Chain A
Amino acid sequence: MIRIEHLTKKFNGVETLREIDLTIRAGEIFTFIGPSGSGKTTLIRLIDLLERPTAGRIVFDGQDTAGTELERLTIRRRIGMVFQKPAVLNTTVAENVAFGLKFRGVSQEEIRERVPAALDLVGLPHFADRRAPTLSGGEMHRVALARAMVTHPEVLLLDEPTANLDPVSSNMIEDLIIRINKKFGTTIIMSTHDMLQGQRLADHIGVIMGGRLAQVGSINDIFYQPKGREIARFVGIDTILKGIVRNNENGHACIDVGEVRFEAITPCPPGQRVALYIRPEEVTVTLTDDSVQRTSVRNQFVGKVTKIMPNGPFIRLTVDCGFPVTALITRMSCQDLSIGVGTVVSTGIKATAIHVLPDAHGAPG
């Protein structure tokens, strides 16, 4: 549906986006994730043809978008957009929703049919006569969504659709996004700094870091096989260890991290410097006295708990095993095991749960 080639955007000589190459397929939900200020909004604005690229091009449905303003307007009218902070005009909700149709010269009769349908879609059927500026943040977002959807766009762009919203409104918007995608087959391109939201909604994820597209892939690719340290940190991997491969038998490798030996699955040859990425939820925690014999887990390390941080319904433990390991356990198991700072525990990590990447620079840690 959309092909982006070598896209670069500079503002006053400063590069905001650099050399983006990407294809977004028709009918999918594609999510850009990345920290604030990484260039997600700029990329979304470029796709909506609100800005012109400094270099490179965007091809929409086979058509180059670098044409005249009129050609760009024609393409833009096939796209719907909801901004991070939706702006409403100082008039009724119905009139706000009708703008896109009015601009396209749709007849009054058809506007009278389509506006209520769009408000129905977002669950605000009785809001037509309300003054738009009096709405709450969540309602305004839904009006903005109705306003974008009323024109039946082929592509819907959503910039941080749930930033600054309460959890209930966020859920409602997320449900709507999925419903719109399923019901109308609308291609949805959204950005978020919330990686879990990306995980919940997206068919494909593009990670944007410092203006570059750092990685594109499925949820599994991004969350379990990040291509680098920054992406790993961003998708919630705290434990990143540097080591060196000692031997490797058919992909089953022994890797030394300082004095400690890990077993992991990797094609990296002996002598290769590597980084080990371990997701906190893959780390098991047991008390030292009842553990070691009855587990098949290959990597067992004993250490002292140094930090306990609540994390929603979970507890994030940092254990010092000569190297720091972060584990995510439920609140209940934390209580059952009566773990506190200073408790000596055994951490277990399956060989298959360790993601190994060659580490080009930096000495083994």
Chain B
Amino acid sequence: MDDIAEGVIQAINLIITLNPDVMQIAALSLYISLSATIIAALIAIPVGSLIHFHEFRGKRALIILIQTLYSVPTVVVGLVIYLLISRSGPLGFFGLLWSPAGMILGQTVLIVPIMMGLIISALSGIDRGISDTLVALGATTSQKVLEIVKEARYAILSAVVLGFGRAIAEVGVAMMIGGNIRDQTRVLTTAITLETGMGNFGISIALGIILLAVALIVVVILNLITSGFSDDSRHIAGGPRG
């Protein structure tokens, strides 16, 4: 009990004093996971739409494969990326190992499947009648796709938020690709692992709280962006009828 109580007090201290080490780690975490989320969304939204709006052989099999990759362990992604970008690997000449860029790559690979899979189900969730209506109203194919993506915005947002959540919370890729190098590749999760191992529970708890706080801020901002998209922020939480 003492450890926990002390930890919480220390956490509050670190946060209130804006401890530079802790802030630096939090900022790097945010930078890496947000970058991975943006890149993954830029891949998953168009490719997911492409898969949803086209009929082709093996579509169902592809979707099952994507869904299977939801459960890929972070350490397996870490291992594969490690083998690709290590000095002797095929992408070794980029020198990405032990760098934030490598970690962004790894987290992107990790979260693209779950984002894409959920975006495909988000688009499938839009009533077929909407698609027919848009075509009947004279939409070209690209106008139709754009409107359907907009119509699915909340479900797509959920997919993106979930992807971000998986990225900022994962340890495997950050550890194997980043290496937890102080001031360079140390992020919240790897720092928690390290500090806990060294018995510094206070810092660990503080970092845990900061991780959740960062997640909260990102989720709130993403929600604001999505609702502002169609000027219906008043209704996002099920506002009054009309």
Contacts and interface: CB of A to CB of B under 8 A. Distances in A.
A77 B135 CA distance: 9
A104 interface: yes
12 contacts: A73-B140, A85-B129, A87-B127, A87-B130, A87-B133, A89-B133, A91-B230, A91-B232, A99-B137, A103-B143, A104-B138, A148-B136
A128 B99 CA distance: 53
Given A83-B133, A87-B132, A131-B242, A103 B235 contact: no
Contacts of A91: 230, 232
B1 to A, nearest CB: 50
A79 to B, nearest CB: 8
B147 interface: yes
Interface of A: 48, 50, 69, 73, 76-77, 79-81, 83, 85-87, 89-91, 99-100, 103-104, 130-131, 134, 144, 147-148, 151
Nearest to B234: A131
B134 A99 contact: yes
B138 A77 contact: yes
Contacts of B241: 134
A104 B230 CA distance: 20
A80 B138 CA distance: 9
User: Chain B contact residues: over half helix, strand or loop, or mixed?
Assistant: helix
B195 interface: no
Nearest to B230: A91
A105 B137 CA distance: 12
A140 to B, nearest CB: 11
B51 interface: no
B151 interface: yes
Contacts of A148: 136-137
A48 B136 contact: yes
Contacts of A134: 241-242
Given A87-B127, A131-B235, A103 B137 contact: yes
Nearest to B148: A89
Nearest to A99: B137
Interface of B: 127, 129-130, 132-141, 143, 147, 151, 230, 232, 235, 241-242
Contacts of A85: 129
A70 B147 CA distance: 19
A167 B16 CA distance: 66
B145 to A, nearest CB: 12
Contacts of B143: 103
Nearest to B127: A87
A151 B138 contact: yes
Nearest to A127: B242
B55 to A, nearest CB: 14
Given A50-B132, A77-B138, A83-B133, 15 more contacts: A50-B136, A83-B132, A83-B136, A85-B129, A87-B132, A87-B133, A89-B130, A89-B133, A89-B147, A103-B138, A103-B139, A103-B140, A103-B143, A134-B241, A134-B242
A228 to B, nearest CB: 33
B43 to A, nearest CB: 26
B135 A50 contact: yes
A134 B151 CA distance: 15
A76 B136 contact: yes
Nearest to B242: A130
Contacts of A48: 136
Contacts of B135: 50, 76
A148 B141 CA distance: 19
A87 B136 CA distance: 11
Contacts of B137: 81, 99-100, 103, 147-148, 151
Contacts of B147: 89, 99
Contacts of B141: 69
Given A73-B140, A131-B232, A83 B129 contact: yes
* Smallest CB-CB A-B distances: 7 pairs: A87-B129, A81-B136, A77-B138, A100-B137, A103-B138, A87-B130, A87-B133
A91 B127 CA distance: 15
A148 B129 CA distance: 15
Nearest to B143: A103
Nearest to A91: B230
Contact of B133 (A69, A77, A86, A90): A86
A14 to B, nearest CB: 19
B197 to A, nearest CB: 49
Nearest to A100: B137
Nearest to B141: A69
Contact of B138 (A69, A76, A89): A76
A83 B127 CA distance: 13
Count chain A CB atoms within 10 A of each CB in B127, B133, B138 and give the residue with the most: B138
B56 to A, nearest CB: 18
A286 B129 CA distance: 53
Contact of A73 (B138, B230, B235): B138
B45 to A, nearest CB: 18
Contacts of B129: 83, 85-87
A36 B186 CA distance: 66
B171 to A, nearest CB: 38
A82 B126 CA distance: 18
Contacts of B242: 130-131, 134
A86 B143 CA distance: 19
Contacts of A83: 129, 132-133, 136
A131 B232 CA distance: 9
Contacts of A100: 137-138
